[in-house]
Copies of this chain bind each other. A is one copy, B any other.
């Protein structure tokens, strides 16, 4: 299991007239968390793309347990719990400033070879870096 943590501050434009973060904007928070998770591992998603990999999303599952308010500094705990092969799943737990769990996200992505546009194995470098976090 590999864990990382990041923070995002709620922007005004991310709220809606209910006075809380619009449900569609959590996807963007998960994305920030995934990118920082990959960076915490020692890689860069931008570099992975430049090296010929893409990671489109296959599935996303969100549970909205409580509201996120404007200007709140949210903490996102992100984890990779299963050793990825062709697919990789990121779990996000989002906490508000009172440390209450307000959102759970689970996002499944697939590794794609940019040239063939076909699914491919996880990039070797990423597999190596992740291997120490998973028992064989």
Residues of A within 8 A of B (CB): 9, 11-13, 15-20, 22-28, 31-32, 35, 44-46, 49, 54, 56-64, 67, 70-71
Copies per complex of this chain: 4
How far does the alpha carbon of A62 sit from the alpha carbon of B27 in the complex, in Å?
11
Instruction: Give which listed residue, B24, B49, B61, B63, contacts A13 with CB less than 8 A.
Output: B24
Which residues of the partner chain B approach A28 to less than 8 Å between Cβ atoms?
11, 13, 24
How far does the alpha carbon of A38 sit from the alpha carbon of B54 in the complex, in Å?
32
Which residues of the partner chain B approach A54 to less than 8 Å between Cβ atoms?
18
The residue in chain B whose Cβ has the minimal distance to the Cβ of A39 is B71
Which residues of the partner chain B approach A12 to less than 8 Å between Cβ atoms?
16-17, 22, 31, 35, 45
Asked whether A63 lies within 8 Å of B56 as measured between CB atoms, the reply is no
Instruction: Give which listed residue, B18, B24, B35, B60, contacts A71 with CB less than 8 A.
Output: B35
User: What are 14 contact pairs spanning A and B, CB under 8 A?
Assistant: A11-B31, A12-B16, A12-B22, A12-B45, A13-B16, A13-B22, A13-B31, A16-B16, A17-B19, A27-B27, A35-B71, A58-B64, A59-B64, A61-B62
Asked whether A63 lies within 8 Å of B58 as measured between CB atoms, the reply is yes
Which residues of the partner chain B approach A31 to less than 8 Å between Cβ atoms?
11-13, 24
Asked whether B58 lies within 8 Å of A71 as measured between CB atoms, the reply is no
Known: A32-B11, A46-B70, A71-B45. A56 touches B18 (CB 8 A): yes
